[in-house]
């Protein structure tokens, strides 16, 4: 049996069958091996590996989780957010999540069942997130970090939207642009709703056909969203270009540098940061420091001047914890 784990869960005694970089991309030549030293784990991180597939028939599994360890992890997380944000901020963030939950669920279900885009529900959700993010962005992103399996897509969409809104504001953009960034963040992965669950949750390595389907999600999302009337250009650009990389090695169009629309370059940073720092039961997230270090070390992935701005305006400033 194979299992996908994050590279920071890798321990001596596990058998690595496959390695994957961001978004399940291949990372060049690789031979399966048994982990015999921590140095090998460090080398994998230096090669920008994010997740690995371990083979449980040839090596150790991750330590089994217990209900008390789950409880401890949640308690530690709650303590951590309480120490950074006021009770009022956390209460307001939770209220925003409750208020937007039916709207975002509706958007996701409409994409999955009808391959269409619920434009009005998305606009209402973004207005709500924009008002919550005014004085409460860090708490909103923090509260959305802790994800159960069935909440994963909903909370990832909401958190990327809140990050895009806050990052856009910190860069001095007009509120109309900020609204478009927020809307784009909310619907950036809508094309994934067309993928079968068997691919999205597959524990082993994807076949090349499955990988091609996953890589089609930006175009698929773009097609869905562009069917709706009067969708702003930057929203479409975020759907289509959030997996392009600055060095031209991304997808779907392999655009490079500033040929990648600006909103797509912003979304790439917010999407990866959110995915790395997400907390799930039994699955340790990367810490903020680890996530930033990894993102700085992904050569050619991001627009480096925008990444520097993200680090100074969102992280060093203390907006996010
Ligand atoms: Fe995506």
Mean pLDDT of successive 10-residue stretches along the chain, which has 321 residues: 83 87 62 85 76 88 68 74 87 95 95 93 96 90 84 92 97 97 96 88 83 94 93 97 96 97 98 89 77 90 97 92 84
Distance 7 CA to ligand 1 centre (A): 20
Domain that holds residue 12: 2-55
Distance 217 CA to ligand 1 centre (A): 7
Residue 55 contacts residue 4 (beta carbons within 8 Å): no
Distance 301 CA to ligand 1 centre (A): 14
72 and 197 fall within a common domain? yes
Helix (H) or strand (E) holding 20: strand 15-20
Beta strands in 31-82 (DSSP E): 33-34, 51-55
Distance 37 CA to ligand 1 centre (A): 34
Q: What pLDDT score was predicted for residue 51?
A: 83
Distance 39 CA to ligand 1 centre (A): 31
Total domain count for the chain? 2
Distance 276 CA to ligand 1 centre (A): 13
Q: What pLDDT score was predicted for residue 11?
A: 86
32 and 145 fall within a common domain? no
248: domain CATH number is 1.10.3210.10
Distance 243 CA to ligand 1 centre (A): 6
Single residue among 15, 35, 55 that ends a domain in this structure: 55
Distance 251 CA to ligand 1 centre (A): 10
Residue 60 within any structural domain of the chain: no
Q: What pLDDT score was predicted for residue 26?
A: 53
Residue 321 within any structural domain of the chain: no
**Which two structure tokens, joined as six digits, stand for 83?**
């120490």
217/238 Cα distance (integer angstroms): 12
Distance 159 CA to ligand 1 centre (A): 14
């Amino acid at each position: 049996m194979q299992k996908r784990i994050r590279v920071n869960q890798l321990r001596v005694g596990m058998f690595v069958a496959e390695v994957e970089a961001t978004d399940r991309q291949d990372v060049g030549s690789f031979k399966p091996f048994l982990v015999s030293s921590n140095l090998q784990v460090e080398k994998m991180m230096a090669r920008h590996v994010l997740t690995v597939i371990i083979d449980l028939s040839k090596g150790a599994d991750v330590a089994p989780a217990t209900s008390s360890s789950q409880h401890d992890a949640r308690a530690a997380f709650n303590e951590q957010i309480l120490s950074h944000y006021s009770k009022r901020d956390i209460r307001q963030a939770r209220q925003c999540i409750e208020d937007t939950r039916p709207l975002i669920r509706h958007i996701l279900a409409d994409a999955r069942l009808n391959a269409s885009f619920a434009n009005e529900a998305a606009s209402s959700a973004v207005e709500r997130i924009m008002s919550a993010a005014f004085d409460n962005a860090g708490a909103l992103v923090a509260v959305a970090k802790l994800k159960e399996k069935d909440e994963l897509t909903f909370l990832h969409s909401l958190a990327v939207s809140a990050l895009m809104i806050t990052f856009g504001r910190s860069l001095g953009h007009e509120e109309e642009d900020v609204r478009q960034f927020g809307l784009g963040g909310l619907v950036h992965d809508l094309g994934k709703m067309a993928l079968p669950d068997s691919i999205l949750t597959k524990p082993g390595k994807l076949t090349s056909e499955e990988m091609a389907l996953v890589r089609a999600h930006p175009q698929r999302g773009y097609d869905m969203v562009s069917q709706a009337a009067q969708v702003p250009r930057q929203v479409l650009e975020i759907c289509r270009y959030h997996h392009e990389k600055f060095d031209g090695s991304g997808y779907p169009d392999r655009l490079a540098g500033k040929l990648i629309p600006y909103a797509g370059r912003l979304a790439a940073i917010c999407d990866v940061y959110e995915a790395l720092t997400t907390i799930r039961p039994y699955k340790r997230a990367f810490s903020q420091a680890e996530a930033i270090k990894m993102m700085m070390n992904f050569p050619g992935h991001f627009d480096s001047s925008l990444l520097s701005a993200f680090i100074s305006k969102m992280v060093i400033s203390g907006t996010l914890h």
